[in-house]
Structures are given as C-alpha cells and as structure tokens.
Amino acid sequence: MDAVVSFTNQSQGRDRIFRTTQYACALSTYLLRDNPDRKDLVAKLKSLETTMSAGRKLFRLGNTINSIEAAKRTMQLSDRVLCLCLTAANMTRALYFVCDNALWARNVGLIRNMDKERWSLNASRCYFISLVMNLTRDVYVILQLMSQKARDRRFRQKMDTHLNGNPEVADVVVPQLDAFLFLLLESLRSHPAVALDTLKNICDLFIPLDKLGIYKSNAGVVGFCGLMSSVIGIVTLAQPKLKIKP
C-alpha cells in the first residue's frame, strides 16, 4: 500500500495512470464501435478518454523546464553519441511540451487566435523527432551490449553450443542470421531496462506516425500501442532499476 501511495503522489505517476486510462478507453472504444448494444458505454468511454487527455495536459505544464534541465545534464555526457541523441531528444521534447501547453491554453480559452491544427501537427513533429532520437540511443546501446557479449568467451561458447546443437536451424535459417538474433536476444534478456525502453519507444512511435500521416494505422493500433507503452512507463517508474540510464 505504501508503494501505491508513493507512486500516486508523484506527478509522473498520476500522468502514467491517466495515460493508461486514456489509451485503454481508446482501445475499448475501437473494439466496441460496431456493437449496437454498447453505444452508451462507447459514449462514456469517449468522454472519459477526453477527460483523461485534458487532465494529462494540465499535469504537463511544467515539463518544458524539466526537459530543458534534462538537456543541460545530457550535454555533459562524455559519450558523444549519447550526448547528441539524448540532448536532441530532450530539446525536441521541450518544444513538444511548449506546443502542448499552448494547445491546453487554447482549449481552456486563454488563447483565442490560434491555429489549433497547425500547433497540433507541430507537437506531433517534435514528439516524433524526440522518439526517433531516443530509439537511435536504444540501438546504439544495444549494439554496444552485443559487442561486449561477442567478446565474452563464455558467451561465445554458449552461442556455439546453440548453433551446433540445432543443426535443423541451418537448413531454414542463415547461420549468421541465427547467430545475430541469438546475440541480440541474449543481450536484451540480460539488460531488461534497455529492452523495455526500446519496446516503449517503438510503441509510442505509432502515435505520431498516424497523426502525421507517415504511416496510417487505425484507432485500435494507436490505442493498443499507447496502452502498452503506458504500462511499461508505470513498470519503469515503480521499479527504477528497470529504467534505462542515462
């Protein structure tokens, strides 16, 4: 119970709960859209989804400053690739929050003369770039882990045993590809924080891709991916050891 109270007392924890509820409603609405007996439920789910979205925008009012401060910290990283990726991700995320805050002000009537659609697209563009940079960081870290694994003598022996112990695999799979996949999966399995962050960013990527029209999916895919990434966000926030660093 103490852990639950501590989690919900955090602004990020409340945002994660709101986000999970929002995308769960979006997915449920999509799944029930053709059921005539569930029209009232669908209407309530849509209303709840809108309420959760509005609540999240209120929670994010101070996140622009947090992202700028995060960018200042990542600029001090000695690894140039990580420095570039994370600083760019944090700065574009800060721009995303600026657009998001402006949209919130427009929705509550604080700003009147504003092109809502244009600002929404700009927010999606910034969010997309931020996710791409975070995914680039993930790929870079994964390649480093794979390189370390490949140099480990015990792991090479384990991989040789795997390849030699499954001769039927060679008949249907290129041995080099099987070795690469084995190395990749073992690297991710030994570093769950990297695996979770990569999966979360991939799921999140479908949201701006659909919004920008780069890869059109549907409300069901967006709802499912948003729900998956939200659940991962809750897990990594509740278990800091599962959060990728830096």
Task: Locate 23 and state its tokens.
Answer: 């995308």
Distance of alpha carbon 46 from alpha carbon 25, whole angstroms:
7
Question: Mean pLDDT over residues 121-145, rounded?
Answer: 97
pLDDT in tens, 47-106: 999 999 988 888 888 889 999 999 999 999 999 999 999 999 999 999 999 999 999 998
**What confidence score (pLDDT) does residue 225 get?**
97
**Number of CB atoms found within 10 A of residue 213's CB:** 9
Distance of alpha carbon 83 from alpha carbon 99, whole angstroms:
24
Domain that holds residue 16: 2-242
Annotate 158-178 with b (16+ C-beta within 10 A) or e (fewer). ebeeebeeeeeeeeeeeeeeb
Please check the confidence at residue 221 and state whether its pLDDT lies above 90.
yes
DSSP type of residue 66: H
Integer CA distances (angstroms), 148 to 38, 70, 136, 154, 199, in order: 54, 28, 19, 12, 21
How large is the greatest C-alpha to C-alpha distance in the chain, in angstroms?
Answer: 69
**What confidence score (pLDDT) does residue 154 get?**
84
Query: In a 10 Å sphere around its CB, with 0-12 CB exposed, 13-18 middle and 19+ buried, how is residue 82 labelled?
Result: middle
Question: Mean pLDDT over residues 158-174, rounded?
Answer: 64
When the pLDDT of each residue in the chain is averaged and rounded to a whole number, the result is: 89
Q: Decide: helix, strand or coil at residue 97.
A: helix
> What domain count does the chain have?
1
